[in-house]
Each structure stands twice: as structure tokens, then as C-alpha cells.
Amino acid sequence: MISTPEIIAISRLQMFEPPEGYYLAFSGGKDSVVLKDLADRAGVKYDAHYSVTTIDPPELVRFIRREHADVQWERPEKAFLTRLVEKGFPLRHRRWCCEEYKERGGSGRLVLTGIRATESVRRGKRTMVEICYKDTTKKYLHSLIDWTELDIWKYIRRYDIPYCHLYDRGAKRLGCLFCPMQYHKHRQREVRLYPRYAAAFRKAFRKLHASGRESMSRWSDGDAMFEWWIGDGHIDESDQQIMRFDSEER
């Protein structure tokens, strides 16, 4: 039996379908695979795009390659770690990375996203249809805005939709490795799970520390700075103004 959330989501997709089709923002996570499957079931026109961050978990990257060959890969001008050395590291409340790596693309289009209100307090304030405040030619349709996590998993099970196995290993959300929005114990676990990525981050932090910026002097070296960043130190609100660097963060 088709569920009510599914019926409503399909109705929304069909109602707002633009003549040129949707720009479907695809991350490879559970919400994205449901959104893409719903768009197929709704029979609407779309082109799906994956914004390459260069620091997504390798399991997620392989999943997208294997299961969603039709998705277009949008690659950045520079790798994330290169930009980290140039701009400074992102913080929980001052992140330049999402805008630069996750939110690009879709100008002049109606963008489909898998955003859900229950994911966070901030997303709970979002509306189903929005205009991008930095690019007013771009609009968003969050057709899953009122879905719960349980709704997502019920849909995946009902239609036996392939999903990234990282969820089976305990992941709640998928995204960039060592993301400052994640709980610090999760980031530290990722350091153990992905030693090659951790080594690359340490190397970038050493370069950042060697840049000679005045704000770097609070750490003895790049390794100490990385340990502070990967831990819970950066959550302290008093540190937010100190670590702004030269970025144009929100």
C-alpha cells in the first residue's frame, strides 16, 4: 500500500515540474536516493548532479559510481584541502565549505533537494519552496520537507532501494569527513577509520600553521592545531571570532 507521505511527495513533484525539468541535488545519502526514486516514480523530468567535495567517504563515492551512473559529477576548481590552506579551517558556526562545495550549481533552475525539517533546528525553519538568497535565479523545492527519518527508511525497505552500507555500520548522516557539524567523538572515530585522509588533513594543517598568520600562534604546530580542531575545542563560542581568518563565511 502506498503511504501518504509518498503520495504527497509525488504530487508535489508533478505540480511544480518546470518545462526544462528539475536540477536534482544528489549527495548519495538516504534522503537523496529516496528523492531520486520518487522523481522516477512521479515521471518528472530531471537531471541529477553530485557536487564533488574531494573529502567524502570513499564508500559513498563508490556507491554513487556503482548505483547511480546517470548522475553528473560537478567538480570544484580546487580540492578542499587546498582551499583549507588558503582560507583556514571551517568551524561549526563559521563554515565556508558548504557554500563552496555543496551548494554550487543550479543557477536559473528549480533545484530538488532531500532536506527534511526534522534534521535540525535550522532546517525546521525552512519552507517547502524557497528562493536562494545569494542567487535569486535559483529556487528550491524541498519535497521531503515533512518526512521523518522513519518515513525514509520505510520507503527504502518497501521498494528495496540500494543505499550506502555506511548506514549499516552506524552512520546517521553521510557527508564530508571530519565535518565540524558532527559530534567530536564521531570525527575522532573517522580519524581511526580513514588514516590516509587524516594524514592528508594533518599535512594541510601543517601548511596552514606555517603560513605565519597571527591567529596560528596559539598552537605549537599544525598537528596540535589539527588535534584541537578534530576534538571539541572549536565548539567554544569564545573561539568563533578568533578563528575567522580571511574567509567569507556566513
Write out pLDDT tens, residues 46-94.
999 999 999 999 999 999 999 999 999 999 999 999 999 999 999 887 8
Number of helices followed by number of strands (H, E) in the chain:
9, 6
Q: What is the pLDDT of residue 233?
A: 59
Q: What is the pLDDT of residue 166?
A: 96
Q: Could you tell me the strand order of the sheet in which 110-112 lies?
A: 72-74, 46-51, 22-25, 110-112, 139-141, 129-131
CATH superfamily of 4-169: HUPs (3.40.50.620)
Cα dist from 244 to 117, 153, 230, whole Å: 29, 39, 17
What pTM was computed for the model?
0.87
Q: Where in the chain is the domain with CATH 3.40.50.620?
A: 4-169
Q: Is the pLDDT of residue 244 over 70?
A: no
Residues, the chain, total? 250
Spatial CA neighbour of 95 closest among 176, 167, 35:
176
The three grid cell numbers given for residue 142, joined into one nine-digit string: 524541498
Q: Is the pLDDT of residue 240 over 50?
A: no
- If phi > 0 it is left, if psi is from -120 to 50 it is alpha, else beta; for residue 167 that is alpha
Q: Is the pLDDT of residue 1 over 70?
A: no
pLDDT tens string 87-115: 999 988 788 898 899 888 999 999 999 99
* Residue 102 burial (CB count, 10 A): 15
